[in-house]
Structure 1
Amino acid sequence: MDSNSHTPSTPRSLFVFAMLYGGMTVIAGVLAYKQFAIGPLIVESGILAFLLLVVISSAVSQLHGKVMADRMVLWGFLPLAASIALIGLVLVLPASPDMPLDNLAAFERVHAQTPRIMAAGPVAYGVSLLLNVWIFNKLRGRGGDSGGDFRLMARGAIASAISQAVDTLIFITLAFYGEFPIGGLLVGQAIAKIVLSFVLVPFLIVGAIALARRLDRPAGAIGR
């Protein structure tokens, strides 16, 4: 008998989500360097990756339980820390003499963040994502999955909005307090993130769960 025959396999959806999750933790800090405008809302682009972290952690909580979602959030520190360490290493390595100076300056400008910003990111990430999972699971209540997609979407929107507001408060305070007045930035970023949490996150969570259920079908059932 195969010694591994009784070893439980990882659900395909959990494997796919874990890969996506790790990638989003790394790319969020890079995307944050650019801001974009949607009407009157000015948003740093890293929120797009961060909202996907919210979506993935919520979908994992819904399908595989809060404990598994919390583990994913905590393991997310590994690719985040590895990326920070590698960026630091690359910054201190001597540049090739053939590299154009403009390219080198652009690279260093994007990646050479201050220690305060590098410290603020992981703190805000950990607190806000764990809070998101906790609220999302708490709102499930004793009613379980009754209420269908509407209740699922409402839970996702509320959990995301609250956790994103907390993320903004922690990150901007730790990164910029004392450097310049942060009141306007706090309010603007919080409003933008809350709006996007209600507009995008509920539909993305429903879509992620539908995708996960499709991925987890037996091989012969996919495509039916």
Structure 2
Amino acid sequence: MDQTFDNNPLPRSLFVYSLLYGGMTVVAGVLAFKQFAIGPLVVESGILAFLLLVVISSAVSQLHGKAMADRLVLWGFLPLAFSIALIGLVLALPPSPDMPAENLAAFNTVHAQTPRIMAAGPVAYGVSLLLNVWLFDRLRGKGQGGSAWLMARGAIASAISQAIDTLIFITLAFYGEFPIGNLLVGQAIAKIVLSFVLVPFLIVGAVALAKRLDGETARASAA
């Protein structure tokens, strides 16, 4: 088994980032139930996990190519689907009579999402992340560019894909329930700002970490 693995090595960075990516797809929906304020901007906390998905997929695209990044995004549906199914099963199971009522109510509030919200999340995820990978790759051009262009590509691709994500999710989840104009604008602005403030630096850091991880693998193999 070890010999087979050695003959077909998986880059350590790809292995580590795939694990992180799968975890972020699951935790993003849970974090979204808390909102935090950055000055006048109010943002749902799930954006932090979602921006990490953008960072990881962009770093994988930069180092391993667009096709690999696309596969990472598509495989991300697997932990997402399993988590939704498992949450549904747990919600259907009868609660213990010893469980405090306030704890059960809090659990149900966080996890018992409406079918529209549960459907909107995966659709927005798939469209926006695949769009981010496509834009990030298209902006690469013929040359690799330096760190500054890497940061610019990350910011532009993230900002556009995050705006599309907001439009898809809020429209599918809440259209017809209440006026969504202010929510759309506020969330889009917040996500675009974070895309320019955080994402470029995180992508550069993720690429540097990946190169270090893969360098350690190469040195270990040569030893």
Query: Does the TM-score normalized on the shorter chain lie above 0.5?
Result: yes
Residue 132 of structure 2 corresponds to residue 132 of structure 1: yes
Alignment partner of 1:172 out of 170, 173, 182 = 170
- Residue matched to 2:115: 115
Please report how far the alpha carbon of residue 30 of structure 1 lies from its aligned counterpart in structure 2 after TM superposition: 0.2
Please report how far the alpha carbon of residue 142 of structure 1 lies from its aligned counterpart in structure 2 after TM superposition: 1.1
Alignment partner of 1:160 out of 126, 146, 158 = 158
Please report how far the alpha carbon of residue 6 of structure 1 lies from its aligned counterpart in structure 2 after TM superposition: 6.6
How is 1:23-34 mapped onto 2 (pairs within 5 angstroms)? Answer: 23-34=23-34
Distance 1:36 1:3, change over 3 A: closer
Secondary structure in 1 aligned to 2:43?
strand
- Residue matched to 1:101: 101
Please report how far the alpha carbon of residue 4 of structure 1 lies from its aligned counterpart in structure 2 after TM superposition: 2.2
- Residue matched to 1:85: 85
The answer to whether the 8 A contact 2:56-2:203 is kept is: yes
Q: Residue type matched to 1:175 in 2? A: A
| Partner deviation per Cα, 1:27-57 (whole Å, 9 max, x = no partner) | 0000000100000000000000000000000
1:52 and 1:179 map into 2 onto residues whose CA distance is 30
1:56 and 1:46 map into 2 onto residues whose CA distance is 16
Residue 221 of structure 2 corresponds to residue 204 of structure 1: no
- Residue matched to 1:21: 21
Q: Residue type matched to 2:46 in 1? A: G
Please report how far the alpha carbon of residue 218 of structure 1 lies from its aligned counterpart in structure 2 after TM superposition: 3.5
Please report how far the alpha carbon of residue 8 of structure 1 lies from its aligned counterpart in structure 2 after TM superposition: 1.4
1:141 and 1:161 map into 2 onto residues whose CA distance is 19
Secondary structure in 1 aligned to 2:7?
coil
Please report how far the alpha carbon of residue 216 of structure 1 lies from its aligned counterpart in structure 2 after TM superposition: 0.5
Distance 1:6 1:16, change over 3 A: closer
The answer to whether the 8 A contact 2:55-2:199 is kept is: yes
Secondary structure in 1 aligned to 2:42?
strand
1:17 and 1:44 map into 2 onto residues whose CA distance is 24
Secondary structure in 2 aligned to 1:68?
helix
- Residue matched to 1:71: 71
Secondary structure in 1 aligned to 2:36?
strand
Alignment partner of 1:182 out of 180, 183, 192 = 180
How is 1:39-50 mapped onto 2 (pairs within 5 angstroms)? Answer: 39-50=39-50
Distance 1:166 1:9, change over 3 A: same
> Greater helix share, 1 or 2?
2
Q: Residue type matched to 1:186 in 2? A: L
1:142 and 1:220 map into 2 onto residues whose CA distance is 28
Runs of 4+ in structure 1 off by over 3 angstroms are: 218-222
Distance 1:220 1:116, change over 3 A: closer
2:110 and 2:5 map into 1 onto residues whose CA distance is 49
1:4 and 1:90 map into 2 onto residues whose CA distance is 39
2:209 and 2:6 map into 1 onto residues whose CA distance is 27
1:127 and 1:219 map into 2 onto residues whose CA distance is 34
Alignment partner of 1:214 out of 212, 215, 218 = 212
